[in-house]
Chain A
Amino acid sequence: MKRVTALAAAALALVLTACGSSENVTPQANSSSANTQPVSLTDARNKKIDLKAPAAKVVGLEWGVVESVITLGVMPVGVADTKGYTGWVSAEKLDATVKNVGTRGESSVDAIVALDPDLIITTTDESPAAITQMEKAAPVLVIKAADAKNAIPQMKSNFELIAQALGRSEQAKTVLADFDKKVADGKQKIADAGKAGTSYTMADGYKEGSTISIRMFSAGSLLGAVANELGLKNAWPDAGDPSYGLATTDIEGLTKLEDGEFLYIANDGDGGDVFGGDLAQNAIWKNLPFVRSGNVHRLADGIWMFGGPKSTEQFIDATVQAVTS
């Protein structure tokens, strides 16, 4: 029984030694410096959110959200998976001071609360129970993660909603106007190069063991929709899932594709280049029409596929260059 007694003693010791308090309990003074107008908006849950002032200390739990916040000139105080963000999203850089608040799937409410944010921004993918908890600490703005029926307008309205919460709607107008101009310019360049109507496919892929999975960005995905706007024609026949417009296939499934441009995104820091490396010796891959005609293009690393206007502009640049070169 010595063992049990020792354990009990240890537990008791723990309880007794960790006394004291880590904060001075003083009545909270109301922050009187209301610098701007109150903000009121309705989020993707149809929930009305009232802020006394535009949010300045923001925590972003999804990378697309984080990118948009930075684009609008606000550096978030906390971001889910900062390391992953740095590896996958190059459109907007994070300051070194930004705190990591956990993984994108289950971020740490403790860590978020410790930052004392004015606003937490997340997407409809977050679990409702976790959102309920976070709401006790700070207002939570929930944006719709994606909508395969309405990809570009969804991205834009998400951006506008975030801008509204930050009190930067004017800036958002400029950014979105630039975005529209980027699309129009890209379309022009593709038309000028005589490539309008070119059939294309956008994909990424990853290898697990000896298994290679390929993820296709259908016409309903954000990148697919943008490429359509540029005057290209998405060759992948299936619609993909209802929110992101993503479909999964294997190498055999690629035989459905006609000749055209094959665009893909890889990440050397995470997963490597499946199409350029692992598939190089594969008989099906080698004989796919676009591989034979040399129309396979790896887009630059760090173009986030589910991002805001700036990531999407990077994609436009990369695509226009790949298709017209």
Chain B
Amino acid sequence: MTQLTAQRPDELATAPLEPVRRVRVAGVFAIAAAAVVVLAAVHLTQGTSSVNAGDLLRLVIGQGTDNSANVLVASRLPRLLAGMLVGVALGVAGAGLQSLARNPLASPDTLGVNAGAYLAVVTFAAFGVSLPTLPAGGIAFLGGLAAAVLVLGLSAGGTAGPTRLILAGSAVAMALAGVTTLLMLLYKEETVRSFAWGAGTLVQTDLVAVRQMAPIVALGIIAALVLAPKLDILALGDDTASVLGVRVRRTRVWITLVTVMLSAAAVTIAGPVGFVGLVAPVLVRLIAPLVPGLMRHRVLLPLSGIAGILVVLASDVVLRAVLGGQAGVEIPTGIMTMLVGAIVLVWLARRFRDSGPSRQQAGGTGAGLRTLRTFWIVTISLSVLLVGALVFAMLAGDAFLRTGDIANWINGRSGRAITYVLDQRFPRVLSAVLCGAALAIAGATVQAVCRNPLAEPGILGITGGAGLGAVVVLMAVPTAGIWLLSGVAAAAALATFALVYLVSWRGGLSSDRLVLIGVGVSSATTAVITFVIVYTDPWNISLAMTWLSGSTYGRTLPQLIPVAVALVVLTPVIVLARRELDLLALDDDIPRILGVRLERTRLIALVGAALMTAAAVSAIGVVGFVGLVAPHAARALVGGRHARLLPVAALLGAVLVSVADSLGRTVLAPAQIPAGLLTAMIGAPYFVYLLWRTRAVKL
């Protein structure tokens, strides 16, 4: 069985059945509850009006003003209650999903449930249907359920192993988030700030949403508690559970329904508040070694709920304490939960015990052996496909050109209009191809080194770091040239990666810890990018779109030089290390035995991947998914040997981004869709198909 993070199989098997130390467990609950009370009290004193702690105290002793009473009832309490409800719902849902998937990285975010629920709500809003809270909750539930069913279907109800579950989940989530952003881009433009919209906010004007969702959340929690004993047994493994009389399939269906319902309720109240469902249960799991019995689900589930409340309230309190009450309006709470959650996750992951060497190959091991003939067929076919994609990209746009136009343009004989169109199209096409190849090579390298199919430059924080560096430069020096931009992006990418690497290093590098910390840091960078844009230039939509969705819009040739240089210089370095990468992808011991200098090779490969990613990001912004999907697809096509994997992945990446960019410029022309959204929307279904086709093969 695969473990993505450090939890020893023996620990996993025995923890739920440890005797419950009632006193200690009660102590934990008491401390957590006290923390909630304190945070809630502070939370109530914060806001955009002048009503402060003194006013509220006077209100309590019956001497308050109408004004303070109104503020309390119509603004402060709704916000507090919304935060608590969202926190508890996501916390319990996250814990349930993590047990269901037997994986601490599972959560409403990573399984696509939040994304599905949110897309359903946004779709209705986009087409001008304004729904009351309860039907909106129902729609959210259906959306979340559809996503969950798809994800679970792809992983045979989760029995095909947790890795497959998470892979399918993140693919579906990215595709759904892409569609959501697209809808908002198309239908919400006039009301600006669309990019901050989807981050989740607690600003509430009444208690309607809270009042209608509270019973649903309560129902969900009760149902989860009823299922808790079965989850304990399920943790022993499906076979053992079956022997012990648990109907595994039915239990999974129920826990899915319950967790989706809880997530949907949270989305209905506040939008997708990121990371709470992931972090809250992890928090509990991390203190579990100190307090035996915490892993019993009847304890774990409610405690995760309380941890969820703490994450949400603490984020909100810290935000408003540091930046003032006004910031609580301007900056979505979801950004802060992501930031706080990420920091907590990193800090605790560092304290996590090492799981020992991981026995996981980079994925698709079943597809390990392919003939050389297959490789050549695939490579030649893909090269032809790339040429086709390039030609298509040059032809496609508002007005479709013909190949003769391109021939004329190349020979300098085209007319004025065509010359201009192709002159401006050419850098966009080229940037898509180059960045696609660079991201794919970087992704293949990172997956080999981390020996983890989920690893990609994005997940290790490299993409986010580069994006953050670029955005900060743009804010500080709006006229910055491409070299300054790329330089700082590269430095930031390396710094972020160095941070991830060093923080993960504890007498050796566990690839599990690396990924876990990488996930934390990369979420933090996304949150900070959104934060920087919202805080410094809130009305600049195009800037935000470029850096958060990845766009070839307005690229000029000089902006492509860094990525071209990176490809030319770094590809040979990675290709030279192809055999070491083959070995690294196996396990830690074989390379050592064969005399490979493990850490040095790792570092060189990862720095190469980081630089390549940074160059790509500074050219077209943050484009996700390519680094994940291209190497996977390549591995499925030609097997895991890097001499073959790398060129095929590069070709696939180039084709993917190029096609995405072409479609983005064409489908809704003259409106332009950022390429990054379409890579998710094209790449994800393909990836899902890939998972579906290989569902017999254990990833």
In the complex with contacts A209-B270, A283-B70, A113-B420 CB distance below 8 A? yes
**Distance between Cα atoms of A10 and B388 in the complex (Å):** 9
Contact status A210-B205, CB under 8 Å: yes
Residues in chain B near residue A127, CB distance under 8 A: 542-543, 546, 553-554
Q: Which of B525-542 contact A (CB under 8 A)?
A: 538-542
What is the 8 Å Cβ interface bit string for chain A, positions 193-219, against chain B (1 contact, 0 not)? 000000000000010111111000000
Distance to closest chain A CB from B433 (angstroms): 14
Distance to closest chain A CB from B392 (angstroms): 6
B374 within 8 A of A: yes
A34 within 8 A of B: no
A192 within 8 A of B: no
Residues in chain B near residue A208, CB distance under 8 A: 125, 197, 201, 271
Q: Which residue of B lies closest to A23 (CB)?
A: B415
Distance to closest chain A CB from B664 (angstroms): 10
**Distance between Cα atoms of A26 and B541 in the complex (Å):** 41
Contact status A11-B389, CB under 8 Å: yes
| Contact segment of B243-251, B293-301, B597-605, B667-675 | B667-675
**Distance between Cα atoms of A273 and B328 in the complex (Å):** 23
Contact status B425-A110, CB under 8 Å: yes
A37 within 8 A of B: no
**Distance between Cα atoms of A132 and B559 in the complex (Å):** 12
**Distance between Cα atoms of A274 and B40 in the complex (Å):** 29
**Distance between Cα atoms of A320 and B121 in the complex (Å):** 40
Contact status B398-A1, CB under 8 Å: no
Among A18, A87, A250, A278, the most chain B Cβ lie within 10 Å of the Cβ of A250
Contact status A283-B203, CB under 8 Å: no
In the complex with contacts A127-B546, A253-B49, A287-B70, A18-B395 CB distance below 8 A? yes
Contact status B424-A133, CB under 8 Å: yes
Among A14, A23, A100, A106, the most chain B Cβ lie within 10 Å of the Cβ of A106
**Distance between Cα atoms of A284 and B479 in the complex (Å):** 45
Contact status B421-A113, CB under 8 Å: yes
Q: Which residue of B lies closest to A116 (CB)?
A: B417
| Contact segment of A64-72, A165-173, A179-187, A240-248 | A240-248
A189 within 8 A of B: no
Q: Which of A243-277 contact B (CB under 8 A)?
A: 243-244, 246, 248-253, 255-256, 267, 270-272
Contact status B539-A244, CB under 8 Å: yes
Residues in chain B near residue A282, CB distance under 8 A: 74, 205-206
Q: Which of B196-246 contact A (CB under 8 A)?
A: 197, 201, 203-206, 208-209
Contact among B403, B414, B670 with A23 in the assembled complex (CB-CB below 8 Å): B414
Residues in chain B near residue A250, CB distance under 8 A: 48, 75, 203, 205, 328-329
Among B48, B209, B387, B405, the most chain A Cβ lie within 10 Å of the Cβ of B48
In the complex with contacts A5-B377, A20-B404, A255-B51 CB distance below 8 A? yes
Distance to closest chain B CB from A234 (angstroms): 18
Q: Which residue of B lies closest to A19 (CB)?
A: B403
B408 within 8 A of A: yes
**Distance between Cα atoms of A211 and B381 in the complex (Å):** 51
Q: From DSSP, what is the main secondary structure of chain A's interface residues? A: mixed
Among B193, B381, B382, the most chain A Cβ lie within 10 Å of the Cβ of B381
Contact among B191, B329, B665 with A253 in the assembled complex (CB-CB below 8 Å): B329
Contact status B542-A126, CB under 8 Å: yes
- Could you count the A-B residue pairs with CB atoms below 8 Å apart for me: how many are there? 261
B568 within 8 A of A: no
Contact among B197, B209, B397, B637 with A210 in the assembled complex (CB-CB below 8 Å): B209
Residues in chain B near residue A12, CB distance under 8 A: 384, 388
A108 within 8 A of B: yes
A129 within 8 A of B: yes
Q: From DSSP, what is the main secondary structure of chain B's interface residues? A: helix
A: interface residue count bin: 35 or more
**Distance between Cα atoms of A243 and B537 in the complex (Å):** 10
Among B206, B389, B407, the most chain A Cβ lie within 10 Å of the Cβ of B206
Q: Which of B238-280 contact A (CB under 8 A)?
A: 268-271
B18 within 8 A of A: no
**Distance between Cα atoms of A20 and B405 in the complex (Å):** 7
Contact status A110-B205, CB under 8 Å: no
What is the 8 Å Cβ interface bit string for chain A, positions 113-133, against chain B (1 contact, 0 not)? 110100000000111111111
What is the 8 Å Cβ interface bit string for chain B, positions 635-669, against chain A (1 contact, 0 not)? 00100000000000000000000000000010001
Contact among B271, B377, B420 with A137 in the assembled complex (CB-CB below 8 Å): B420
Q: Which residue of A lies closest to B76 (CB)?
A: A252
Contact among B47, B71, B271, B559 with A209 in the assembled complex (CB-CB below 8 Å): B271
Distance to closest chain B CB from A155 (angstroms): 17
In the complex with contacts A7-B381, A210-B209, A103-B672 CB distance below 8 A? yes
Contact status A102-B399, CB under 8 Å: no
A21 within 8 A of B: yes
Q: Which of B398-424 contact A (CB under 8 A)?
A: 398-405, 407-408, 413-418, 420-421, 423-424
Contact status B67-A255, CB under 8 Å: yes
**Distance between Cα atoms of A141 and B209 in the complex (Å):** 48
Residues in chain A near residue B328, CB distance under 8 A: 250
Q: Which residue of B lies closest to A130 (CB)?
A: B554
Distance to closest chain A CB from B125 (angstroms): 8
Residues in chain B near residue A103, CB distance under 8 A: 185, 189, 671-672
Contact among B71, B385, B420, B541 with A284 in the assembled complex (CB-CB below 8 Å): B71
B2 within 8 A of A: no
B613 within 8 A of A: no
B73 within 8 A of A: yes
A97 within 8 A of B: no
Residues in chain A near residue B374, CB distance under 8 A: 1
Distance to closest chain B CB from A183 (angstroms): 26
Q: Which of A1-54 contact B (CB under 8 A)?
A: 1, 4-5, 7-8, 10-12, 14-15, 18-26, 28
**Distance between Cα atoms of A56 and B460 in the complex (Å):** 53
In the complex with contacts A25-B413, A241-B539, A284-B75, A256-B479 CB distance below 8 A? no
Distance to closest chain A CB from B241 (angstroms): 39
Contact status A11-B388, CB under 8 Å: yes
B391 within 8 A of A: yes
**Distance between Cα atoms of A244 and B538 in the complex (Å):** 11
Residues in chain A near residue B361, CB distance under 8 A: none
Q: Which residue of A lies closest to B374 (CB)?
A: A1
**Distance between Cα atoms of A320 and B634 in the complex (Å):** 68
Residues in chain B near residue A287, CB distance under 8 A: 66-67, 70
Residues in chain A near residue B542, CB distance under 8 A: 105-106, 125-127, 130
Residues in chain A near residue B380, CB distance under 8 A: 8
In the complex with contacts A4-B381, A127-B553, A251-B74, A136-B414 CB distance below 8 A? no
A73 within 8 A of B: no
Contact status A111-B398, CB under 8 Å: yes
Contact among B387, B559, B671 with A15 in the assembled complex (CB-CB below 8 Å): B387
Residues in chain A near residue B556, CB distance under 8 A: 129, 132-133
B551 within 8 A of A: yes
Contact status B208-A210, CB under 8 Å: yes
**Distance between Cα atoms of A116 and B555 in the complex (Å):** 21
Residues in chain B near residue A283, CB distance under 8 A: 70, 73-74
Q: Which residue of B lies closest to A111 (CB)?
A: B670
In the complex with contacts A15-B387, A105-B189, A125-B540, A20-B402 CB distance below 8 A? yes
B11 within 8 A of A: no
A-B contact pairs, 10 of them (CB 8 A): A8-B382, A10-B388, A106-B674, A111-B670, A125-B540, A128-B478, A210-B204, A252-B48, A256-B48, A284-B71
Task: With A4-B637, A109-B554, A111-B398 given, name 14 new contacts (CB 8 A).
Answer: A15-B388, A108-B397, A109-B424, A114-B399, A114-B421, A211-B271, A213-B329, A248-B538, A249-B326, A250-B329, A252-B48, A252-B51, A270-B191, A284-B74
A positions within 8 Å CB-CB of B: 1, 4-5, 7-8, 10-12, 14-15, 18-26, 28, 81, 84, 87-88, 100-111, 113-114, 116, 125-133, 136-137, 206, 208-213, 238, 241, 243-244, 246, 248-253, 255-256, 267, 270-272, 278-279, 281-285, 287
Task: Please provide the 6 A-B residue pairs with the shortest distance between their CB atoms, ordered closest to farther.
Answer: A11-B388, A21-B404, A130-B554, A253-B48, A102-B670, A108-B670
